[in-house]
Structure 1
């Protein structure tokens, strides 16, 4: 049984975000789906059970605090509150520490770290007022240990992990948990196209990650907070 308030899913039109939305819709969760593209949200809405309580918010600038606050306000107005945030938004670039690195650093920090910080900051007041909340961000294994050509990407994901830890420590007494997951290679059409010769049998499906996220935002997960959880196992 989930909290009766809504769940915000950012990047809801993406491979992972849409898998999360479908998983939660199947459990009867009230959903606020945020996405850059309105067309992707329209397609997603048409795939959900007719009984799904669903609010689409397209075009929110997740790097801008005021824009995020406005989206949360719309969510609260529609559903009375926000019980959980699932943030699947992010970016990926690789490159050496060289002339292009400063620009890449800024891009990755904005796409991965700032978005996570800003939407978290926007959603916390309504969760604190309710004395309950669940926050889940998507980080990555390079956030724990970087490889070659991963400086900017790994640093941005490390920032997401540290943000999650800080949120967990700050919000523990408010009964708000914060966790992040570290997926392995996700089995998506884009990844298969980019790595045509890779063995995909050990890749992780979006659906399996969605099930993990569904647990982390459920009341049953209350004792888990501040964790960076690898999602790299075999199904």
Structure 2
């Protein structure tokens, strides 16, 4: 497989949480052209602050709540050489309990987050196939997938794992990779540890860079509480297989940690 992001890739980052600054720093270090999509006042404010600290980072104040809007946004990048990498919207923080769930809150959560993620992934996948040089998708989920305290975030997190799997297997032949970062409770939504934020940013850069071309269909769990880094394939015979590096995750480059992780689940 030829790495699609060997030099000056175009990376579309949808939304952005507190990891946005470190992630943009890591991506620009790869020589990437970064485009930040924002569709709320909070997202626009955060994206603008990050873009102001970097040269060449573009902010698009674009509401993506339909396939048509997603297609239009991705098509607009064609004049800049196309799209190489998509980072889906950040983890969903609204998380009401099931017994208090109302129709409006549920509809808003689906529209603002899941529809945007699926729409952009669909548009990006079509662009990757049409361009013929492959592409990368990195999705974000959270530990609510496995231990939920509420409905909206749990549904969104599980949907991101399913979306990643739906991209990784069918589009492998088109040199498109998809991986998911599952952020632990201590890491989201308010990561206080610089080491943890750097770990997430380094992992994103690794997956988007030339060394990440063989990493596909994985979810990685990262947590600040123990600075652990875990990896499990999205399709695996033994779903309990896991490796924990503990404090080593804060001292060892992510690339070195991934080598043994990627053997998990292989025959």
2:171 corresponding residue in structure 1 = 171
Partners in 2 of 1:42 and 1:53 — Cα distance? 12
Q: What SS does structure 2 have at the residue aligned with 1:92?
A: coil
Which residue of 2 is the match for residue 9 of structure 1?
13
Cα drift, residue 227 of structure 1: 1.3
Decide whether the 8 Å contact of 2:98 with 2:151 is kept in 1. Answer: yes
- Listed as ranges, the matches of 1:197-216 within 5 Å are 205-216=196-207
Deviation at 1:54, TM superposition (A): 2.9
Aligned pair count reads 218
Equivalent residue runs for 1:57-136 within 5 Å: 57-58=60-61, 60-77=62-79, 79-100=80-101, 102-131=103-132, 132-136=134-138
**Aligned counterpart in structure 2 of residue 22 of structure 1, from 15, 25, 48:** 25
Q: Is the 8 A contact 1:90 1:111 kept in 2?
A: no
Aligned to 1:196: none
Please report how far the alpha carbon of residue 209 of structure 1 lies from its aligned counterpart in structure 2 after TM superposition.
0.7
Instruction: Select the structure with the greater relative contact order (CA < 8 A; seq sep ≥ 6).
Output: 1
Cα drift, residue 3 of structure 1:
4.4
Secondary structure of the corresponding residue to residue 199 of structure 2: helix
Of 217, 220, 226, the residue aligned with 2:211 is 220
Q: What is the TM-score normalised by the length of structure 1?
A: 0.81
Q: Is the 8 A contact 1:105 1:153 kept in 2?
A: no
- Unaligned regions of 5+ residues in structure 2, if any? 229-246, 251-267
Instruction: Report the 3-state secondary structure (helix = DSSP H, G, I; strand = E; otherwise coil) of the residue aligned with 2:84.
Output: strand
Contact 1:95 1:150 in 2 (8 A): yes
Following superposition, the deviation at residue 187 of structure 1 comes to 5.4
Q: Secondary structure at the match of 2:19?
A: helix
Give the RMSD, CA atoms, in angstroms: 2.5
Give the TM-score, by structure 2 length.
0.72
User: Equivalent residue of 2:166, what SS?
Assistant: helix
